[in-house]
Amino acid sequence: MQNSQIVAVLKSFSKKETREFRKWLLSPFHNQRKDVLDLFDYFQKNDHLTKEHLLSKTKIYPKIFGKEPFNDAKIRQTMHFLQKQLDDYLGYKEFKSNEVGNKIFLLRAYRKKKLEKPVKKTISAITELQKNYPYKDFDYLWNQYRFQQEVFYGYHADQGRKRSVQLNLQEVVDALDQAYFANKIKQSCFMLQHQRVSRTEYNKGIINEILTHVNAEKLLNVPAIAVYYYLYKTYPETESEKYFYQLRDALNKHLKFFPEQDARDILQMAIYYCIERMNRGKELFVRESFELYKYGVESTLLLSNNRIARWDFNNIVRLGSLTREFDWVHDFIEKYQDYLEAADRENIVHFGRAKLFYAEGNYAASMRELALVKEDDILLNLSSKHTLLKIYFETDEFEPLEFLLDSMGRYIRRKDVPSNYKMVYESIIRLTKKMSRTNPYNKEQIKSLQQEIAAAPALPPSERAWFFKQVENL
């Protein structure tokens, strides 16, 4: 039983949920089986959930059924009913968490019973809840549609008695359109994002027609439509930058109307777009990327479950260094290092400080931090060696540079380096070797080197710029 769904669910419960669920089982409205309550109590007693040897059916059976001979079917039946109660409890919690949705079901119940006063009272309550709802996301729009639909059913029933009843058909259709458009564009954004990283092709249906309709009908004042509309429009290659600035304005205006997970997803897709532009040589997007990351940290959107992803931490340090926001980056490293996973923290912090010190021109401090980066992470190790490579070249330490370049080449051949990174580092090694051996007074050699730098495959724009700068300084 230690691998059963029951055990997994109960282990996930907070203390409050454990107390609530026991009250649930004590209620005869939900549960009338003593064996189900006894099984639950057994799991909770003396931390049995954490002791695998006490979770076998043969160990549990006598605690529930006393001296009865072991009956596998009987204990399975008890487990089945406990699982059903768990499902019902969790489903009920989710249902109750949507206060507006709960009221809409209540409105339906009163309508079916033809209780006019409670219907009117519940309509007023839902109207007030929707007015004060903190978000204007898809859930808000969907609740608005369901609400208008229930109101329509009430009006429609009255038509049999009152021919002059004014129907809210336009409100129903408008609410349905807005909910559908918002969710369709949102899901299409996820499709495009996944298509970019996985090369999976999706059939996007009538998304283009929806985008045209949304624009023509002036629906871009609806936050859940506007944000995803501009986000989607950043994906095509043509004119995407124009739409990014409109997206940025929409985020400033509307992002506060989205729940945390949605806001985080939106922000990360916007950051992804900026980094892609930056990697294509669009220098303006270095600043745009940094500002989005800065907002994500300061608003805590990028601190999911009090954790920051290592790649976000590294990107923030890199972008902050490129934009020369040195003081802010120093504060960021000190303040947010504890949000890294414990297993990664030491390495990521030493590497981040090394990158920052290098950007500031404090090569001695950078080398001290690089020496503390452990070699068990392939890509981090290569990035560390790459930073050291730059320091050696810029300080004319050509003998250790040659040794480092040879060491990096052997490391890449020996380790399982992803092909895209392998191509980048092979270009860096080759170009650095050639640059260190180029005669600065030989114009033909300089021209040849510059042409090779310009044509180097997969070389990120920031690295290409570094090589050109070093050639100028030869």
10-residue mean pLDDT profile of the chain (474 residues): values are 83 96 97 96 92 90 93 95 97 95 96 93 97 96 96 74 73 96 96 85 92 94 97 81 94 96 96 91 92 96 93 96 96 96 94 97 97 90 96 95 95 91 94 93 91 89 92 88
Asked whether residue 185 is domain-assigned, the answer is: no
Burial 110-141 (b: 16+ CB within 10 A, else e): bbeeeeeeebeebbeebeebeeebebbbbbbb
**Long-range own/partner contacts, residues 149-155 (CB < 8 A, 24 or more apart):** 149/176, 150/104, 150/107, 150/108, 150/111, 151/123, 153/108, 153/111, 154/111, 154/119
3-state secondary structure of 438: coil
373: helix, strand or coil? coil
Q: Provide the pLDDT for residue 164.
A: 59
- Please give the pLDDT value at position 167: 84
Q: Cβ contacts of residue 325 below 8 Å, gap of 6+?
A: 290
Give me the pLDDT at residue 379, please: 92
CA-nearest of 144, 223, 143 to 182 is 223
Reading the block at residue 58, the tokens are 């043969």
Q: In the listed set 142, 176, 210, which residue is the last one of a domain according to the structure?
A: 176
- Alpha helices by DSSP H, listed for 199-325, are 207-216, 223-233, 240-254, 260-279, 284-298, 310-322
What pLDDT is stored for residue 200 in this prediction? Answer: 84
Residue 195: its pLDDT value, please?
A: 87
| Same domain flag for 394 and 469 | yes
Task: Examine residue 434 and state whether it is found in any structural domain, yes or no.
Answer: yes
Q: Quick check: is 307 in a domain?
A: no
Measure the CA–CA gap between 91 and 244, rounded to whole angstroms.
40
Kindly report the pTM of this predicted structure. 0.86
Q: With contact defined as beta carbons under 8 Å apart, do 149 and 138 qualify?
A: no
41 and 124 in a single domain? The answer is: no
- Could you give the number of structural domains in the chain? 3
Query: Which residue range forms the structural domain that includes residue 433?
Result: 377-474
176, 210, 238 — which closes off a domain?
176
Residues 383 and 468 in one domain: yes
Token pair belonging to 134: 């903190």
